[in-house]
Amino acid sequence: MTKLLPLLLIATIPGTCSPDVDDNEGAESRLPSDSLEHWVMRDPPHLVDLVMLWAPSADSAMGHRPWSSIMADRSPVKWDRKGLVKWDHPRKDGRYRKGKVKCPFKNMKSETVKADVSLYLTGDANGLIEWRMGSGYSREWNGIGLASSFWSEVDSLRYEELGSCHQDGPGVNEQTTYKLNLPGKQPLWVEESSSCGTMGCDFSLTFSLVPFERRLPCD
């Protein structure tokens, strides 16, 4: 399977092409081989570390990650406040939490740099349902590498593309959605997006515990 990236992310992601599979043998007999099987949190954290931290375990009966467990996590995130904020959008009895974290990325010179990633976690009173990791319109690193750094650490057999779109206009928008299966975790739905304007480009990855109701065409 070949993974399609937004045109603005001019980078080649390692391991995004699946080896040929004999239809008679069945793709289900092939197991991904990646380091996430023996995942441990790193310092500084990579994006995939935060996803592994917040995604509910596969044996959990709940369709969300309880806020109490997230508050208790020993996280490197610098939150903008101590507690949750109540907000009835986009869901009734909603909650959200915002913060930033420094993660390592490759810049356009292939140098490893630490850059701020903006985090926006949303859910309801029961727990976390969706979170966004974005570059913002950063002049520090321009956001290039945010998505590729994540996908480069995920075996291509663990995700499938569900759709993509491109929209021209005052701002150029690209969106691609995926279904992601990480080891020991419940399935996640992922939106990779980029939006460019006069201030530059904003790149982001949004992870959800439920299928996206919005998306496509680009919004």
Q: How far apart are CA 113 and CA 104, in angstroms?
A: 5
Q: How confident is the model at residue 146 (pLDDT cuts 50, 70, 90)?
A: confident
Single-letter residue type at 157: L
Higher pLDDT, 118 or 172: 118
Phi, psi of 15 (to 5 degrees): 70, 25
The radius of gyration computed from the CA coordinates of the chain, to the nearest angstrom, equals: 17
Q: How far apart are CA 95 and CA 125, in angstroms?
A: 6
Higher pLDDT, 69 or 85: 85
Over residues 166-211, the pLDDT tens digits come to 777 655 688 899 999 999 999 999 999 888 777 777 889 999 999 9
Over residues 19-55, the pLDDT tens digits come to 333 333 333 334 455 667 778 888 889 999 999 989 9
Whether the predicted pLDDT of 216 surpasses 60? no
Q: How confident is the model at residue 98 (pLDDT cuts 50, 70, 90)?
A: very high
